[in-house]
Amino acid sequence: MTPKLLTITKEVAMALVRNRLVRAEDLPHLLHNTYNSLVKLTRRPPAPAPVETPKPPPAPTWKESIRETYIVCLECGKRQHQITVKHLRTHLMTSFMYRKKWGIPPDQPLCSHATRRRRRETILQSQPWEARRRER
Ligand SMILES: [Zn+2]
């Protein structure tokens, strides 16, 4: 029994008696019912059990998405050597939109480190600037 509920029960019963809405012989029953009703009203429902939801893995940053042999598309998680315009079209995006959304600098190639190195070596071996000079 809580003192606060007893006080409220007493006040309710006294108000009913004062206004002659209850007979003296019904008073014990009234006190009992009023108190039990107040207890039910103040009883809190049991707290629901915390739902264990598996946390999704954190989205990789664009730097983490570029690996040695592959690059992870930040939209779908697909691994590939490079993120092509054709692939970005499946996400209804352009390269510009993709870079802007994920904060990728415009000078960062959307390909794996190995693919970037291989392209660089190919360009250095073919020396297109020398070929142009020879044509003149
Ligand atoms: Zn994708």
Q: Using a cut of 0.95, tell me whether the model's pTM lies above it.
A: no
Contact assessment for residue 94 and residue 85, using Cβ atoms and an 8 Å cutoff: yes
Structure tokens at 91: 């996400």
- Which of the pair, 71 or 33, is modelled with greater confidence? 71
Q: Helix, strand or coil for residue 89? A: helix
pLDDT at 27: 77
- CA of 77 from ligand 1 middle (Å) equals 6
Give residues with Cβ within 8 angstroms of 13, minimum separation 6.
22, 27, 30, 31, 34
Report how far ligand 1's centroid is from the alpha carbon of 116 (Å). 19
Domain extent listing, the chain: 3-42, 65-130
Question: Residue 82 C-alpha to ligand 1 middle, in angstroms?
Answer: 11
Do 13 and 34 meet the contact criterion of CB atoms below 8 Å apart? yes
Q: Give the per-residue pLDDT at 118.
A: 96
pLDDT at 123 over 70: yes
Å from CA of 122 to ligand 1 middle? 27
pLDDT in tens, 54-107: 776 666 899 999 999 999 999 999 999 999 999 999 999 999 999 999 999 999
List residues bridging with 80 in a β-sheet. 71
Confidence label for 40 from pLDDT (cuts 50, 70 and 90): confident
How far, in Å, from the CA of 129 to the mean position of ligand 1? 35
pLDDT of 43 strictly over 90: no
Pure H helices in the chain: 3-18, 27-42, 62-65, 85-90, 95-102, 113-126, 128-135
